[in-house]
Structure 1
Amino acid sequence: MTRHLLLAVALAAVSGTVSAAPAAQARHACFHSMEPLEKDVGFCQAVRSGNTLHVSGVAAGGSMDAAVRSVYGRLGEVLQAQGLSFANVVRETVFATDLDAFIANKAIRHEFYGANLPAASWVQVQRLYLPSFVLEVELTAVFEE
């Protein structure tokens, strides 16, 4: 992987705005944060299928408290761009290189969810896409009918 791509992936984890791409079909709409990077790597930041939004993992490095704040802040931006909030999230999967450090910072996570906690799985992994990443979180949210 080129140095440019590594930098772009790292930047994608903490910045960008979400834009919609034309839907490949009526039941599948892809929404991008950093479209050139996403197309190069091969994913969409978020995909809407029916009334469900599937948000790809958002990752960050550094200390776990900074990574938790960064990741959930970025996920909030992705949700907000679709007219949603953490109250719409029904499923969360957390991948952490140090699960104890993530658990120690769960109060930061609660700041984003409040009383609307989703079903969740938290998994410790050996590494993430970039070795510098310590946390990645993916979500599933539902649009209100």
Structure 2
Amino acid sequence: MNVFRVITSGVVLGAILLSGCGNSAEPDEAQQEKSPVMNENPDSNTGETQNVEVIKKGVGDVIQSIKELESEINTDADSERIEEMGKEMSSVWDSIEKQVEDEYPDWYERIEKNLYPLIGESGNPKKDLEKIKRLSKATKDDLQLFLEEVN
């Protein structure tokens, strides 16, 4: 009876060891190493191209918002409308801000040096229209230069 237990235990233990030997993590790791190589092809930059197009469209929209703000200042200078336009401009910029920051950090800093004060001044209850005009021009110029570089 003891001999039977020893033999049975040996067979079970051997089966467990053999089944464990065939289950290694190396094939998965090898597959993961092959995957990046297989993905490196000329068409893989389509994501980057799409990002650039999204950025260009967003920057164009921000420039358009600035032009509308300038037009409002030159005609009616309605304080509430200026504040609303500043919020719209901020919203449009927010939609592309992270991409610009990640892909063009120098331009991001340069643009925001004038853009955020412009947005802030447009929300100020006592608006300095000359300051808004100056910041609008500087921001618009920076955005247009940025668009030229992105193209």
Bin of the TM-score, shorter chain as denominator length: under 0.3
Normalized per residue, which structure has more helix?
A: 2
Larger Rg: 2
Normalized per residue, which structure has more strand?
A: 1
TM-score (norm 1): 0.28
